[in-house]
Structure 1
């Protein structure tokens, strides 16, 4: 092949590569985010214990669909019972809460990006409702958003078909490791009173699969939101291979 033909082939390859980079999203580059934080007291209240609503939320200007998902998830976290209705928007929730809230009542809602990697956006959501009791009610949640599929990944989406039982067995191993690391395994009464449970809060972080638990599920309220971590090597054949960091 002549030098001219080689140069021509190379030029065509570079042109095709440039065209592909123009028309295909770069999933290694994180999505741009903005933040909207506000705190509002009950209108007309002048006391020190005025009810308040604090909302701190992340926005994705180039992915409005994700914004809508986050708002819906945060609104679901405002429920005080499983069948309680939710407000249509965060602004409507703030208005409703402040209209009926008593002194020292407060509500905090937050969403933040925990990680972005391999075309995944991991959003962590927090809530805290204080109705004047001994302590408030905190909540946590995750969104694993696939930019390629434009959808939130459920646990079923993450797992190889038929491997759910194997996944929760790996989670139990992670729970045992947590008990040992905290030396709680040496307290038989604790182990008996706070056995392992499943959780709906699963995150595909770069360093491992994270399980986060609501307070008073696998540990007393005082220990907060317990996190368990399952290293990816323990999930070979369980998590879909394209979801392992660096493989997609």
Structure 2
């Protein structure tokens, strides 16, 4: 895989779905997370046969969003916050484009349902691409103690994927997400909250990047 600080969403892949068209990113994801036999092929393939859910092909990546693009309409204060905190915002955006900003979920639509990425990215939903809320919902799926949490229906639809892991702890360890408690836990509704969102995001992404680098070195995955 590329240098650990490589941004997969720049250059010819800027403003494109790098997780679909950047072969270096596909290779890096396969090397890091292919240990259970997951296939990182073309993410835009569709697989709708209900009786063949156990194909174990997630193929979908989720870039950690710094809440740009469509979220601008939800945060009228965002432009001013960027102007006042450009260095911090740029750092967050850059880190989100590295391997530390990538988490994979099943991307093939089943039973006409939204995929994980589609469901967690609904602008008017409870999640709004917040990764902590997503992971907390996955944790509740494993606990089987709560019958009402965000993404419940979608997570259960893709239960075949999450059931590849015996527990939430195994899911977290496998995906090198041990630092997820550093993630921001609420959607920002004011300038100071957006600054805090970026600060916590940078802290998480830097910690995860270091963890991924250590794993990559131990397993000889980094290019010389």
Ranked by relative contact order (alpha carbons within 8 Å, sequence separation 6 or more), the top structure is 2
Shorter-normalised TM-score: what interval?
under 0.3
Considering only CA atoms, is the larger Rg found in Structure 1 or Structure 2? 1
Structure 2 length as normaliser, TM-score?
0.26
Structure 1 length as normaliser, TM-score?
0.24
More helix by share: 2
